[in-house]
Amino acid sequence: MPTPARKRLQETSKDIQALAEEAAQKTAAASKEAAIVISEKSHDAAVVLGERSHDAAVAINEKSKEAAKRIDAGDWPKALLMLERRVHSVTQLLQGKVGSNSHPLHPALIHLPLAFLLASLSLDAFHLAGPHLPLFLTSLIFTLTGGGPRKVSVLNEWSYFLAGAGLLTSLPATTTGLAEFYEMTRSRVMEFGWKELGASIFRGDEPKIVANIRHAGAMDTVLVLVSYTFFERRFYMRNIPELLNTYHTSDTHLWVSSAALVILMYGAYKGGDLVYAHGVGVQRQGSALKAK
């Protein structure tokens, strides 16, 4: 017969087993409830995410439709629409978008006019500052330019021809730069419209366009100033007997050139800022876009 101690041990084992079974049942019930709650919350989250995605897609689609209406038939006369489409096709060519291995043209065309204009304006600035510079520096410049006995006149001659070369090579650079600005502005106009884009520019919310305006404004100002000094010299050479073929320049021309030199360096800086700070034209087309 089992002893009292053995009976108590058996009863304790049964109690422990009952408690374990009860705990297991409670754990299973709690796990089931937790799984149900998690499933419900996941379903709710999925529903909310789906609704938000749908709303975002609808909003994007509506904006696209509004932009298409604005361009196709809404605010634009048909004649203007046809003209804009032709301009768009031309500007894309001027951007260098030809074939699968295309390359932006404007960055490749700016080096010659920058070099020619920088050299021309620097010679004029040197001419203006020459009397105040050390003798060894002025002698070096005259030697490099082949001044000889005509020291000052040879600076004018070099400056004149370099300015002409700069103006000539600036034509394709300016044309492609205008195409870049047109396409940048066009994409924003299609998205927001002229009025909203203008307000956004004045608020400072369009840093790329603002930087482009400053770059283009500076470079165009340089071209105007250089054109003035170039054609004034040309006029003197051809119409004033005592100045025939002397490449004459006045102090006014030299001061204008010196101011143009400062503006040129600022415009070149803003052009670099467009690429390196704003990424304009980087990996935009051709093989670079595929690599991106």
Q: Which of 45, 106, 76 is nearest to 285 (CA)?
A: 106
156-210 residue pLDDT tens: 788 888 999 999 999 999 999 898 888 888 877 777 776 777 777 777 778 888 8
Q: Are the C-beta atoms of residues 120 and 226 closer than 8 Å to each other?
A: yes
pTM over the 0.75 mark: no
Q: What is the DSSP string of 150-176?
A: GHHHHHHHHHHHHHHHHHHHHHHHHHH
Distance of CA 143 to the CA centre of its chain: 42
Q: Which residue has the higher pLDDT, 67 or 34?
A: 34
* High-pLDDT (> 70) share of the chain, %: 62
Judge whether residue 269 has pLDDT over 90. yes
pLDDT given at position 165: 95
The fraction of the chain above a pLDDT of 90, given in percent, is 20
Would residue 98 be called left, alpha or beta, if left means φ above 0 and alpha means ψ between -120 and 50 degrees? Answer: beta
pLDDT at 224: 95
Non-local (6+) Cβ contacts of 233 within 8 A are 156, 160, 247, 248, 249, 253
Assess whether pLDDT exceeds 70 at residue 232. yes
Mean pLDDT of the chain: 75
Query: Which position has the higher pLDDT, 223 or 102?
Result: 223
Confidence of residue 140 (pLDDT cuts 50, 70, 90): low
Both tokens assigned to 62: 């509506």
Per-residue confidence (pLDDT) for residue 93, from 0 to 100 = 78
Q: Among 143, 273, 136, 161, which residue's Cα sits nearest to residue 216?
A: 273
Place of tokens 């709690």: 30
pLDDT band at 149 (very low <50, low <70, confident <90, very high): very low
Amino acid, single-letter form, for residue 44: D
Each residue's pLDDT tens digit, 42-100: 777 666 666 666 666 566 556 555 555 555 444 556 666 677 777 777 787 777 777 66
The predicted structure's pLDDT at residue 270: 92
Report which residue type is found at 183: E
Question: Residue 144: pLDDT band by 50, 70, 90 thresholds?
Answer: low
